[in-house]
Structure 1
Amino acid sequence: MKLSTKCLLTTFGAAAAVGTAYAVQRKVNQRNQRFDQDTGFELKEYRMINGIQQYLVHRTENDENPVLLVLHGGPGESAMPTRYLYQREWEKYFTVVNWDQRLCGKTLQINADQKEELASSLTLDQLIEDTREICDVLRAQYHQDKIFILGHSWGSVLGTMFVRKYPDRVKAYVGVGQVVSMRRNEETGYQKVLQKARIAGADHDVQRLLALTPYPQTQFDQEMMDKMMVVRRLQRKYHLAAPISLKALWQMLAAPDVNPGEFSVYFNLDFKLQLSLLQELMGFDLEALDRHYEVPMYYLLGDQDWQTPYPIAQEYFAGIEAPRKQLILIPNAGHNTMIDQPEFFLNALRAVLLA
């Protein structure tokens, strides 16, 4: 048999093995997401929210559980491909609702014909109003006067500003990977990875980082995006930011309710659609506002998170005035805190929200 034929057969064999492993893993994941109790349910739906169809997934073992609306990070990065890694246990205690935000995931897909128009008008205030409408839908649907809000990373910006504007709709707020100041985050994260590279004696990495100065830039544009991607790659190298690994990619691809035909929806991210929002975020700074909150405030932070550096959130949180507040540092957890330590995270979530 010719060598080329052997190579071809080996390639086909390897591809078949990977395909079989993928199919098996996906079925296991789907089975693990099933509800044992008759009261459990899952609802996937599009709702007309603030002028456009937007995609929501509701899951719970009991629809009388308190509602927890999860605001994903990014902006533009849906949590749908990864939520199964940690949220299944949440659904015993909460009715968990995930939402593909405007210009993200299936919400982007169903509005693809007007994406340029939507991108040109994208603002934080607009997304706050999207959140308000969704919150009101959930309050009516589950007959609950108030709901819980959890914001992760960019979602912590949206969540914080939402609870400041509409506290009457919120039982409590949970910030994860909490953003206080976008500029301070980038400055601190940059200095941390530069320090790590110097300690490691990695002169090439040090020079790559120094070549980015000034960092961060005042304005967010394509140049700033390119610089940020370099910083993120090096932060991942030194375990300071959420990893992009073969394991993480496999977990996302094997998500139980993301079909292969939908991969382009969730993995072909176009940050240009988020440009106006990213430009607005460069000026975001909670420290410029008063620290009075009318709802209970809780931060669950990874003690290894330097993508949204936890010391900045710690410092800010110390000055917060709220009816109740608590900050919990999750050990050995980074930016994707709930994935890194799912059991510890759930225990902390239950402790602050259901005590």
Structure 2
Amino acid sequence: MFIKGRDKAKPVLLFLHGGPGLPTYWLTSKYPTGLEDYFTVCYWETRGTGLSYNSEVPPKTVTWEQLISDTIEVSNYLRKRFGQEKIYLMGHSGGSFLGIQVAARAPELYNAYIGVAQMSRQFESEKLAYKYMIEQYTKVRNIRMVQKLEKFPIPEMNAVPKAYRNLRDEAMHRLGIGTMHNMKSVITGVFFTSFQSREYTLSEKINLWRGKNSSQYQKMWDEMMETDLTKIVQKLNIPVYFFEGIHDYTCNYTLTKEYFEKLQAQMKGFYTFTNSAHSPIFEESEKVKEILEKDVLAGATNLADKI
């Protein structure tokens, strides 16, 4: 893990990265979030990923249930280390799939849960993204991309094959509906940027991608596709905040909003980011900081969308 902050007395925030299987701390060097202005931030790299990658980790120990247990363990470690009764929990993308389940399982550990690009019904999200991409590439007469996509008729799939996932990433980024709205290439925007970080060794940078492409995380991705979070987590006993980019088709904006409306919580706020796709914390960091300061840390929802 990387622990970053300006003052150890600040509230602690545990950040759960997505993927699943791909830590994103390295993006903060190019796209500073400013989270450290308000929190002591723990960027934890989960079992079998990034700094935690080890080829000898038994695949059977890398499961969603184990990661839920690991998250609770790390949370208790941070509480003890920094002498805080409760901490904040933020999950991004695949980390939100994990985070919202942890918040439901152990609400007594957290002041609030923040879902960034919150997952809901991911297979439905994939179908909506597929339909949108076919429509957009047809509109601009990119027949080659349409033909590539049509090789994978999403509605007929029980799972999303790896070959499609690779094409999906390329196609989404070209349309500005992937990692970031202004990031048009997953290769230059994500892959190359990960190797430019000065806080990882070369072997650790390689392990970022070895972990993401491991067979176990591929299996966990399929399990994530099959899970309907709206049925698994229907209520949280802590305040909940969703940060959603309106251009996000990786975790569909509309589906997440529908989930939010049904979710029962002690307090909840939904925040739309009009210039963002999948990563508001990197794309619109100033707005994120304002919300964290005036709403999340204040236990309020004054800046939230009116829903």
TM-score by length of 2: 0.88
Partner residue, 2:175: 238
For residues 255 and 162 of structure 1, the distance between their equivalents in structure 2, rounded to whole angstroms, comes to 30
Letter in 2 for 1:225: K
For residue 132 of structure 1, report the CA deviation from its aligned partner.
Answer: 0.5
For residues 70 and 189 of structure 2, the distance between their equivalents in structure 1, rounded to whole angstroms, comes to 34
Task: Return closer, same or farther for 1:246/1:165 CA change in 2, 3 Å cut-off.
Answer: same
Partner residue, 2:286: 343
Partner residue, 1:313: 256
1:226 counterpart = 2:166: no
Percent identity (aligned): 24
Say which of 132, 157, 161 aligns to 2:101.
161
Partner residue, 1:67: 12
For residues 321 and 247 of structure 1, the distance between their equivalents in structure 2, rounded to whole angstroms, comes to 37
For residue 58 of structure 1, report the CA deviation from its aligned partner.
Answer: 1.2
Task: Return closer, same or farther for 1:136/1:354 CA change in 2, 3 Å cut-off.
Answer: same
Deviations 1:32-64 (A, max 9, x none): xxxxxxxxxxxxxxxxxxxxxxxx221111111
**Structure 2 segments unaligned to the other structure (5+ residues):** 299-307
Partner residue, 2:82: 142
For residues 88 and 338 of structure 1, the distance between their equivalents in structure 2, rounded to whole angstroms, comes to 6
For residues 33 and 156 of structure 2, the distance between their equivalents in structure 1, rounded to whole angstroms, comes to 38
Contact persistence 1:330–1:345 (CA under 8 A): no
Say which of 62, 84, 102 aligns to 1:122.
62
For residue 232 of structure 1, report the CA deviation from its aligned partner.
Answer: 2.0
Partner residue, 2:28: 83
For residues 98 and 238 of structure 2, the distance between their equivalents in structure 1, rounded to whole angstroms, comes to 15
For residues 189 and 126 of structure 2, the distance between their equivalents in structure 1, rounded to whole angstroms, comes to 27
Letter in 1 for 2:168: V
For residues 152 and 102 of structure 2, the distance between their equivalents in structure 1, rounded to whole angstroms, comes to 34
For residues 184 and 143 of structure 1, the distance between their equivalents in structure 2, rounded to whole angstroms, comes to 42
SS of residue in 1 equivalent to 2:133: helix
Query: When the two structures are aligned, how many residues end up with a matched partner?
Result: 292
For residues 31 and 168 of structure 2, the distance between their equivalents in structure 1, rounded to whole angstroms, comes to 27
Contact persistence 2:6–2:37 (CA under 8 A): yes
Contact persistence 2:104–2:237 (CA under 8 A): yes
For residues 154 and 36 of structure 2, the distance between their equivalents in structure 1, rounded to whole angstroms, comes to 45
Task: Return closer, same or farther for 1:173/1:201 CA change in 2, 3 Å cut-off.
Answer: same
Contact persistence 1:178–1:301 (CA under 8 A): yes
Contact persistence 1:300–1:348 (CA under 8 A): no
For residues 309 and 155 of structure 1, the distance between their equivalents in structure 2, rounded to whole angstroms, comes to 15
Deviations 1:73-131 (A, max 9, x none): 111101232133445622121010011101101111xx33x23x2x2342211100000
Task: Return closer, same or farther for 1:300/1:155 CA change in 2, 3 Å cut-off.
Answer: same
For residues 180 and 231 of structure 1, the distance between their equivalents in structure 2, rounded to whole angstroms, comes to 19
SS of residue in 1 equivalent to 2:269: strand
Letter in 1 for 2:259: Y
Contact persistence 2:273–2:284 (CA under 8 A): yes
Contact persistence 2:101–2:233 (CA under 8 A): no
Partner residue, 2:46: 101
For residues 286 and 33 of structure 2, the distance between their equivalents in structure 1, rounded to whole angstroms, comes to 11
Deviations 1:167-212 (A, max 9, x none): 1111100011111012111111111111111221222222222221
- CA-atom RMSD in angstroms: 1.9
For residues 293 and 273 of structure 1, the distance between their equivalents in structure 2, rounded to whole angstroms, comes to 29
For residues 298 and 170 of structure 1, the distance between their equivalents in structure 2, rounded to whole angstroms, comes to 13
Single out whichever of 269-278 and 324-333 deviates more from structure 2: 269-278
Contact persistence 1:218–1:282 (CA under 8 A): no
Contact persistence 1:180–1:286 (CA under 8 A): yes
Partner residue, 2:304: none
TM-score by length of 1: 0.77
Contact persistence 1:187–1:216 (CA under 8 A): no
For residue 341 of structure 1, report the CA deviation from its aligned partner.
Answer: 1.6
SS of residue in 1 equivalent to 2:91: strand
